[in-house]
Structure 1
Amino acid sequence: MKNEKHRLVEFVKERFRRYREGRAPHEKRWEEAYYNTLGEYSPQVQGQWRRRETSGSRIFVRITRQKVRQACRHLEPALRSIKFSLVGDEGDREALSALKREIERALSLTRVSDQLVDLVWDAAWSGTGILRVPILGEVEEPNYTYDEVSGLWSPEAVPSNYPGVENVSLWNFYPDPESPSIEEAEGVIELHRLHPHRLRKMVELAGWLEEGVNALIEEGEASDEEPWESSIRGSKGAAETTRIKLLEYWGTIPAGLMRAAGVELPHNAVEDVEGVVIIGGDQLLKAAPNPWAPASRPYLRFRWEPVPHDFWGVGIAENIRDAQKMINGATRLLVDNKALAGNCMFEIDMEALLPGQDVTNIYPGKKWVLRPGAQGPALRPVHVPDVSGILLEMIQLFTDYADETSGVAAAQPGGPAARTATGLSIANSAALDAYRGTIRRLDDEVIEPLLERFYRWVMEFGDPNIPKSPAKVRAVSSTATQARELRSQRLLDFMGVVTSSLGKVPSAGEDTTLIERVDMERLLEELAETLEVRELIKTEKFING
């Protein structure tokens, strides 16, 4: 049996080697995008400077980080308020309402909005974000019982499970390099690093092999680092020495290999079955068939900008990579040029000066004593031309180029377009237009499949006391976002009409003007609600002191 388990371990190791080799070319561009988003030069660039002993400016203009942060802020409102509906038979409204409440409760417990914000951040800078769903979450809820003897209510912690969500680091995810999606891949691998005490707790979960876990901890071998781990760590942290490296494989596995390792499979299992295998070193820690019917891998992928026939997408950092380099170079030249052009430098003829004079200390009013018969001035100023104007034009050129290539326009508050309601409406609509497609992709690729898996979990493992009914999950985040934008634009247009000279026109057959017939306070509240700035409206209690 031990040899058969070793064959399954080698099967996962071989696939990991192949997946790692296929991902290696992408890691180079991710590393550059990572440091551009972080706002500092990579260790390779800093090492080149140290070898050259350069003394010039090393300033880094964080335009990539600004663009990524600005893009995520535009998408965050849609992620903080997930809208969905359950579509089923008309006679099952009560069951559908109960199911929806249960799904909303699970979304609240797992803090899914925070995980989605992290997912979008990863996708914005790298091009791809990975979400794991569902994972098993557990929460202890208080249950109060009344004691008739003492007359007191006593709390009791009752554990309950719920479907969870986890944003998976891009660096830890290894898909099949020959497939453009998770569903079409032969398998995917997630790399984990766990401390020994956390690994021991895994034995309590179903399917984990206590013998393999204990053997792995007793070996105590230092886990080898992946190349990207030392690259992104730079000089800021120590190498991995205590955490143990695990590989979790989800995908197709030969049925004979699974049975030989002691895994029970259905009698009608074909040559390849969907399953999960977790290994650490040479130890098999878990092997089981896929628990879902139909089988599905617990990962969702979101690409910021899809690339046809490629698993990985392109993010903002890669789109403005050239602009970031040119802006950094031009800014360093600008600082160095200003330092040279703004400071006085002198050419000194030592032969023309009497010995003993300190030429390193120059100050206003200093007297210089020349040798008798010295020809020409002993000190001549050296002028360095100021080319800051040309460099500023270059910086502005590539800043505009970054705006165009990233699709994230630079914010310009207080400009002429923002001084009128109509101008503000047009500016907001134009700024959000680029994100409508992104929000729709989020709905289609992440939010709707996520909600579908939550629904399946509630139907299979949820509270048996709630009514249940077959239904189809539909995400409406993009629809709700567009409806909110349209309503805010219409309210702004209406406010522009009633506050203009047209609003002072008397109503037909009445002594009131058009603006007097409008409830401006209600209009302001509705506008603040759609723009999500309701907290800026003063309450009646605050106004009255």
Structure 2
Amino acid sequence: MLVVKNAEQLQREDEAAKNAKIEAEREATQPRIVDNLAAHVHKCWTTAKSHKVDIADRLTNCLRRRKGEYSPQKLAQIKEQGGSEIYMNLTGTKVHAAKAWLSDLFASSNDRPFHIEATPVPELPPEIAQSMISIAIQNAMMTAGSQQEVMAMTEQVLKQHEERIKSEINEEAEARMEKMAEYIEDMMVEGDFRGEFDAFLDDLVTYPFAILKGPIYRKQKRVKWVQDKQTGKHVAKMEDKLVRKFRRVSPFDFYPSPSTTNIGDHWHIEHVRFTPSTLTSMRGSKGYNSQNIAMALNDHRLGLRQWVFEDSERERLEGKRNFNHHQYENIDGLEFTGWIQGKQLLEWGIEQQINDPYEEYPVTVVVVGNYTIKASVNPDPNGKPGYYKATFRSIPNSFCGEALAEIIEDIQDAANATMRALINNMAIGAQPQIAIDLAQIPQGANITSIHPGKIWQFSSKGVNGAGQSKPGINFFSPDIKANELLTVYEKFERYADDKSGIPAYAYGSDQAAGAGKTASGLSMLMNAASKSMKEVVRAVDIHVIEPLVSNLYTSAMIDPDVPEDIKGDAQVKARGSDALMHKEATAMRQAEFLATTNNPTDMQIIGLEGRRVLLDSAAKAADLPSDRFVPTEDELRQKLMQEMAAVQQQAAAQGQVPQ
């Protein structure tokens, strides 16, 4: 058959062939370009891996101490001396107590760990402010006659209502920010922020630093209500949705550059792991190099684990098996995040968004083996790397802080030595020691077996024929120093309380003395003990919560899919360590204030609207669903108007004028 095509079809085929040729040429040249970029990442990786040797030893030491295990070298020394190998895990107790304390502060059922408030002079969309001014002008026109009177009264009305307009603008801004806070909270819930943040807190109380990453943009299947065109009813349907995910990054997998003090100062590398199916699904995705992914998958069958940092001891401590190269199912990769000069990016083939060759650009590069599978300029509008770090106790000008396990390291070692001595002393003193004069024991007698009714044979003559005045066997018991050793151990326990800032009575112990025997005294001690934990909470507020939520706020402001009625001028603030630490005290004071102001005189001052605000605040402080029983301001105003109208109708029906 003869195929007949018109000119338009032939032109489209020619354009498609040209585009396919251009794409093939681009794919052919891309491996060489990105391989050069992979070489740069590997060079940085070698530097960071060498720099992290000492840090990795510290991380492993902290994990051992949390689990209550001796290092192989220390255990060998203990076995050489003989005796008990007991490990009194004070560190594990303090770590779990610190984690529970922080979780209780951050994971309240109703409180967000942040709040968004309008700036002192909020900038709303121009049409909002113009609408409020127009209402004031319309009011002036209704009472004025001529045009001159309108102009004169408009200026006068604007001056008179300036404060009211500012107040309405502030109210509008606050309402928008409350909606924005709810929107961001919804994003965080969908992105599994709570679960990952809990794992982040685990790292914070265990290691010298903890890392949280986000937002990570992923497509996920979510249920969405759509309208059926035939029936007109809304039905549930699975659709792809862009979700902002969050992930805790293990300190073992994070490799900062030697020059890094704070994240964003320089480059850093994350050791990432892919399953073959995950890596395969990335082929054809936007921003990924399909050909390099295929080559990396092919090399995976030969093993890629040999060049990754050795972490078999870590896997053992985490309860994982030690895999050989041929048994390891995951594919190791490196995710480089940092600043690179635009000239280098152009040489490597990254041309998107590179306007100035001498400017530093934030980039993200993902390398698997010797292949770059992704290279892009950081899409964050502020150029932030998307990683957030906090430490339990910071050290000036140092990337790593001081871990809780390291703070009480010397006390833990001393407590272990004391308890080993106690166990050994009790073991020796629990059974009698026996001294035997071999000169009086007949040759061949079994002196190693002792049992009830045993008959001991002695010779009345010594080896020189001289009589013996002492018995041939003597039983004695060494002194047991249990009380002294227990007193020393209890001293070390109290030193651990003081040095860690986490006293035993903070997690339920009844050993508090002095002021701790009374409720008010214990409250004072708890408040004093919380100061060290406030420092940790403040570090998380400043370095994790505020920048992360600010990132989400900025992305929501420039996202066209976000509703316009929640956008506005705002500043993000964490809830604050003081507010979190004193939730119970605050709730108690609010309850007292409610009871104090519940009288006719105070009610005339604050009014029903003021009482509504107090009730709403007290209910939220007590983690109660205030929206279920406390009316909003509009609902209360409408209710009052209805009651007033009902009174007027009743008075009119009775022919009376209401006072």
TM category (shorter chain) comes to 0.7 to 0.9
Match of 1:232 among 300, 314, 321: 314
Q: Decide which moves more: 477-486 or 66-75.
A: 477-486
Q: Is the 8 A contact 1:134 1:164 kept in 2?
A: yes
Q: Deviations over 1:294-328 (max 9, x none)?
A: 21101011111111111111111111111111111
> What is residue 214 of structure 1 aligned with on the other side?
294
CA root-mean-square deviation: 3.1
Distance in 1, matches of 2:182 and 2:623, equals: 24
* Deviates most, 167-176 or 2-11: 2-11
Asked if 1:36 is matched to 2:65, the reply is yes
Partner of 1:170: 251
Matched, 1:487 2:586: yes
| In 1, Cα distance between equivalents of 2:587 and 2:228 | 55
Go from structure 1 to structure 2 and tell me whether the alpha carbon gap of 1:156 and 1:194 turns closer, same or farther (over 3 Å shift): same
Q: Distance in 1 between matches of 2:393 and 2:523?
A: 27
AA aligned opposite 2:101: H
Aligned to 1:97: 178
For 2:294 and 2:214, how far apart are their aligned partners in 1? 28
CA contact (8 A) 2:204 2:210 kept: yes
Task: Work out the CA distance in 2 between the residues paired with 1:119 and 1:30.
Answer: 15
The corresponding residue for 2:91 is: 64
| Superposed counterparts of 1:99-138, under 5 Å | 99-138=180-219
After superposition, the C-alpha distances for 1:137-182 in whole angstroms (9 at most, x for unaligned) are: 4444333457697898642123322322111100111112213111
Residue matched to 1:368 = 456
> Contact (CA 8 Å) 1:7, 1:257: kept in 2 or not?
no
Q: Which runs of 5+ in 1 are unaligned?
A: 495-525, 535-545
Measure, in 1, the Cα distance between the counterparts of 2:624 and 2:423: 41
- Structure 2 counterpart of 1:119, which letter? F
1:107 CA displacement: 1.8
Count of aligned pairs between the two proteins? 500
Counterpart residue identity of residue 114, structure 1: G
Report 1:14-413 matches (<5 A): 14-47=43-76, 52=80, 55-81=82-108, 82-88=113-119, 89=122, 90=170, 91-144=172-225, 154-185=235-266, 187-220=267-300, 221-224=303-306, 226=308, 229-234=311-316, 237-239=321-323, 241=325, 242=328, 243-266=330-353, 268-271=355-358, 272-354=360-442, 358-371=446-459, 373=461, 375=468, 376-411=470-505, 412-413=509-510
What SS does the aligned partner of 2:282 have?
helix
Structure 1 residues 68 and 161, CA, compared in 2 at 3 Å: closer, same or farther?
same
Matched-pair contact (CA < 8 Å) for 2:213–2:388: yes
SS at match of 1:336: helix
Matched AA of 2:247: E
Cα distance in 1 between the residues matched to 2:247 and 2:58: 25
Counterpart of 1:347 in structure 2: which amino acid? A
Any conservation in 2 of the 1:190–1:249 contact (CA below 8 Å)? yes
- 1:33–1:93 CA distance, 2 compared to 1 (3 A): closer
Contact 1:6 1:283 in 2 (8 A): yes
**Matches of 1:381 and 1:253 in 2, distance apart?**
80
Contact persistence 1:86–1:472 (CA under 8 A):
yes
Return the alpha-carbon distance in structure 2 between the equivalents of residues 450 and 240 of structure 1.
Answer: 38
Structure 1 residues 55-85: Cα deviation after superposition (integer angstroms, max 9, x where no partner): 4211111101111111122221222142312
Equivalent position SS for 1:127: coil
Identify which range, 448-457 or 352-361, moves more after superposition: 352-361
In the alignment, the residues of structure 2 paired with residue 141 and residue 44 of structure 1 have an alpha-carbon distance, to the nearest angstrom, of: 52
Tell me how far 1:532 sits from its aligned partner. Answer: 7.8
Any idea what the Cα deviations from partners look like across 1:259-317, whole Å, max 9, x if unmatched?
23332233522333221111122111111111122211010111111111111111111
Which structure has the larger Rg over C-alpha atoms? 2
How far did residue 12 of structure 1 move? 0.9
- Provide closer, same or farther for how the CA distance between residues 483 and 360 of structure 1 changes in structure 2, counting only shifts above 3 A: closer
> TM-score scaled by structure 2?
0.69
Is residue 426 of structure 1 aligned with residue 524 of structure 2?
yes
- Partner in structure 1 of residue 154 of structure 2: none
Aligned 8 A contact 2:211 2:387 in 1 = yes
Normalized per residue, which structure has more helix? 2
Deviates more, 1:386-395 or 1:305-314: 386-395
Task: Using the aligned pairs only, state the percent identity.
Answer: 24
Which shifted more, 423-432 or 337-346? 423-432
| Amino acid in the other structure paired with 1:105 | D
Deviation at 1:135, TM superposition (A): 1.0
CA, structure 1 residues 137+267, in 2 after alignment: closer, same or farther (shift >3 Å)? Answer: closer
User: Retained in 2: the 8 A contact 1:133–1:453?
Assistant: no
Tell me how far 1:482 sits from its aligned partner.
4.3
Kindly provide the amino acid, as one letter, of the partner of residue 577 in structure 2: S
TM-score between both structures, scaled by the size of structure 1? 0.83
Give 1:94 shift. Answer: 4.6
8 Å CA contact retained: 1:146, 1:152: yes
71-80 vs 89-98, which moves further: 89-98
**CA separation of 1:219/1:9 partners in 2, compared to 1, >3 Å: closer, same or farther?**
same
- Quote the offset at 1:442 in angstroms: 1.5
SS in 1 for 2:504: coil
Tell me the distance in 2 between the aligned counterparts of 1:70 and 1:26.
25
Cα distance in 2 between the residues matched to 1:225 and 1:5: 19
For 1:258 and 1:527, locate their aligned partners in 2 and report how far apart those are by CA, in whole Å: 56
Q: Please name the residue that 1:435 is paired with.
A: 533
Distance change in 2, residues 1:292/1:206 (3 Å): same
- For 2:213 and 2:560, the matched residues in 1 are separated by 19
What is the alpha-carbon distance in structure 1 between the residues aligned to residue 592 and residue 417 of structure 2?
45
The amino acid that maps onto 1:223 is: R
Distance 1:223 1:165 in 2: 26
